[in-house]
Amino acid sequence: MTKVSVCVFASSCNFLEESFYKAASELGYLLAKNGCKTVYGGSKLGLMWACAGTFKQNGGTLIGVMPEKLNDCGLSAGICDEFYETKGMRERKAKMDELSDAVIALPGGFGTLEEVFEMIVQKQLCYSNKPIVFLNTNNYYSKLLEFMDEIFAKKFAPEKNRGIYFVADTPREAVDYILNYKLPPQTFVYSATESVWGSD
């Protein structure tokens, strides 16, 4: 059976509340124990490392992708089974997308948001059908999710596209969603008479 490759986007900050690192570590443990591969940014910092380090300790196959500028700064964890150096951040995202079957966004800053929203747009425009999960540890994403509700309410995106992403409160919910993922009945497609925006 082919292993599911899960792309993990996450903060590289080392100064967060301990509960964030605990949840990231739990996610790494669950991904490893369920036979998944993990694709991540290659760093030895923050939630990225809390997840990846635990994942690797529990026998998982770890794939790192890092821009050469960051790699030259010595930020690589140095324990990846596969490691790819890219020219820049855009190439990094493309490589992580290429290597993965699913996406989980842990709490993170501007970089994490940029990464996960690109994946949402990719799915909205039918370039991808991957499961996309926000891991909402400590309600970190709750205010962002409220704003995203406004996007749908004001018709800047169609209601039928709410299913593009899933919100998990725990690492277990995130992993279970990915392992049991099936495309929703409404696929996110264009047609000659109705665009992805629908006819609402």
The pLDDT tens digits for 1-43 are 568 999 999 999 999 999 999 999 999 999 999 999 999 999 9
What does the block give as tokens for 147?
């704003």
On whether residue 184 sits in a domain, the answer given is: no
Tokens of 33: 């124990």
Tokens of 38: 């993990």
Cβ atoms of residues 135 and 27 within 8 Å: yes
Phi, psi of 131 (to 5 degrees): -65, 140
Residue 119 maps to which CATH number?
3.40.50.450
Please compute Rg for the chain using Cα positions.
Answer: 17
Which range marks the domain in which residue 30 is found? 5-179
pTM: 0.91
**Tokens of residue 149, six digits:** 């509700």
Joined together, the tokens standing for residue 138 give 């400590």
For 183-194, the pLDDT digits (tens) are 765 555 544 444
- Dist. CA 168–CA 172, nearest whole Å: 8
Question: Mean pLDDT, to the nearest integer, of 78-100?
Answer: 96
More confident residue, 139 or 160: 139
Residue type, position 173, single letter: E
Q: How confident is the model at residue 70 (pLDDT cuts 50, 70, 90)?
A: very high
User: Would you say residue 30 lies in a domain?
Assistant: yes
**How many beta carbons lie within 10 A of that of residue 138, not counting itself?**
13
Q: Can you name the residues that pair with 121 across neighbouring β-strands?
A: none
197 in a domain, yes or no? no
Within-domain flag for 22: yes
**179-199 burial string, b = 16+ CB within 10 Å, else e?**
bebeeeeeebeeeeeeeeeee
- Is residue 73 assigned to a domain? yes
The number of folded domains in the chain is 1
pLDDT tens for residues 158-179?
A: 988 889 999 999 999 999 999 9
Sign of CA dihedral 99, 185, 149, 180: negative
Residue 129 maps to a domain: yes
